[in-house]
Structure formats: structure tokens, C-alpha cells
Amino acid sequence: MTIVILSRGSCGLSRCTGRYLMSMAVADLLVIIFCVILSYLGSLHFPISFLNHYHVCSLNRITNAAVVDSSVWLTVAFTFDRFVAVCCPKWKVQYCTERTAARVILTICTVSYLRNIPRYFTYEPDYPYAPFRGCRLRNVCSKSVWAVYMWSSTVLTPIIPYVSILLLNALTVRHILVASRVRKALRGRGLNGKDGDPEMENRRRSTILLFAISGNFIILWIARVVDFVFQEILLGMSRNAILTHVGDMLMYLSSCTNTCVYTLTQAKFREKMRHMINHPILLCLKFLRD
């Protein structure tokens, strides 16, 4: 039989998947802290602060780009993990393990930070002799090798991840539809069967989680992709300010909504979150009682 019928639990939400979800939650939380709170809101409400000083600002740009890259590529890694679990049962035994997940997560985070270190040198003081030196993007970035570096960074995040997630989701959906039809035929239920099928229910939960996360990424990152394709590839290096701001807003919103997705779909994640919130409160109460 050419079509492989997935065994029980093959699409389940394993501990390997839990590692990806927790790492994605941490990455999205860092995006909210560094990109939204410290960079955007901090510079908006406190324009003269140490966060906007030249050296701190340059380091902050590295961190912002690195946490966004980590969040995006961890979403790709999670999508690929679900693709292997659903479509490649032979690879699943070797790939879908906690050790492999830990290695993939560590590699993604390390490469994300190392790849963005050159960003420090793409900024310069806005007023070199002023008492407070802010930072701005160097004008040379549009006329030298730095332009290639910045352009390639946008290709790596989010163009390649965007296309990869679309392709992996399409292949996963195709495999699920084919395998589901074969399974229904073998069980003799037909499309109108009403008896429960644990494997189908397990597969349904896994698919919902996959599309909730990757679908959220696809929808909310589309403005950034359109901005890059039409303005930097088709129409030159000029950028539309409104489209850029909308793309940034939706990009950061993606990190916020992902946290809601993890909370709604993962019981273990909800348990860990409750423990993280309750633990300092319990310590304070114990300290007061003592």
C-alpha cells in the first residue's frame, strides 16, 4: 500500500512539540519586551534616555533583530516538526525527539544573534558633537556592501520563512486529506460516519495547533512581505512609510497573538504560566508569614 496510514499518536502533541512551543513563547515574549516596550514605546515617550544613546541604541537594534529572527525561524522549525510527524513517519522516530528539538532551538537562537552582530556597524551618531548622541542608520548603507547585508537580512526574515511555511502547510494538508480518506474507507464509516475515531481526533488537534500558529504568522506578516517585494524588488529601494509602519505593527501583533494561541491550546503551557505567576506570590506570602 503506497499511502502510509499514521499510527496512533503519530500526530500527537509530544514533549518535542512542547519544547518548540515553550521556546516560541519565550522568543515572542522577548519580542514584546525589547521591540515593543523598550524600543518603540520607550523611544516614543522617553526620547532622551539611555535607551536612545548611540551605543545602547546600536546594541538594542542587534537584540531586536535577533529576537524577531528567533521567533520567525522557531515558527519554521515547529512547522517542519509537524510536517515530519504527519508526513514522514520513518523520519519521525529519529527527528521528533527532545534532543533534536533542543539542538534545533539552540542553533536557531545562536545563529540569529551571531548573524545580526554586523548591524552594530550600520548605525552612527546622529549628532556626533551633541551632549546626547542618538543613533541613525548610516547613509552609506544604500551605496555599499551594507545594502546587500540589509537586503539579505530581509530575504532571510521573513521571505524564506514565509514561503517555507506556506509550502510545508500545503504538503501537510494534502497528506492529511489523503490519509483521512483512506482511513475512513478502511474503517467503513464513510463521510457520514458518527463513531469517534481517536486517531482522527488526535490528528485534528495537532492540525488546529499547526494552522493556528503558522496561519497567524502568514496573515500578520503579509504586509512586511508585500512591502519588501513591491518596494525593494520591483520599485527600487524607496519605502512607503505607512505600509512600513503597518507591517511593523502587525509583525509585533503576531508575537502577542501567538502567546494567546499557546495559552488556549496547551494545558501544560497554562500550568507553567500559572506556576510562574503564583510562585513569586507564594514566596512573598511565606516571607510575610515568617
Who has greater pLDDT, 148 or 189?
148
- Give pLDDT tens digits for 242-258: 777 888 888 888 887 77
What pLDDT sits at residue 8? Answer: 35
- Residues whose CB is less than 8 angstroms from the CB of residue 191 and which lie 6 or more positions away in sequence, other chains included: 184
What pLDDT sits at residue 77? Answer: 92
The answer, yes or no, to whether residue 7 has pLDDT greater than 50, is: no
Read off the pLDDT of each residue in 95-117 and give the average, rounded to a whole number. Answer: 92
Q: Which of 83, 104, 226 lies closest to 162 in space, CA to CA?
A: 226
What pLDDT sits at residue 66? Answer: 93
Quote the pTM value: 0.79
Buried b (16+ CB within 10 A) or exposed e, 114-141: ebbeebeebbbbeeeeeeebbbeeeeeb
Who has greater pLDDT, 267 or 223?
223
- Residues whose CB is less than 8 angstroms from the CB of residue 45 and which lie 6 or more positions away in sequence, other chains included: none
Mean pLDDT over all residues of the chain? 78
What structural domains and CATH numbers belong to the chain?
A: 15-284 (1.20.1070.10)
- Give pLDDT tens digits for 43-65: 777 777 777 777 888 888 899 99
How many whole angstroms separate alpha carbon 84 and alpha carbon 103?
A: 16
Q: Is 221 helix (H, G, I), strand (E, B) or coil?
A: coil
Distances, alpha carbon 101 to alpha carbons 15, 27, 109, 207, 240, in Å:
9, 15, 12, 19, 39
- Give pLDDT tens digits for 185-244: 776 654 454 555 666 677 777 777 777 888 888 888 888 888 777 766 665 555 667 777
Q: Is 24 exposed, middle or buried (0-12, 13-18, 19+ CB in 10 A)?
A: buried
Read off the pLDDT of each residue in 100-113 and give the average, rounded to a whole number. Answer: 94
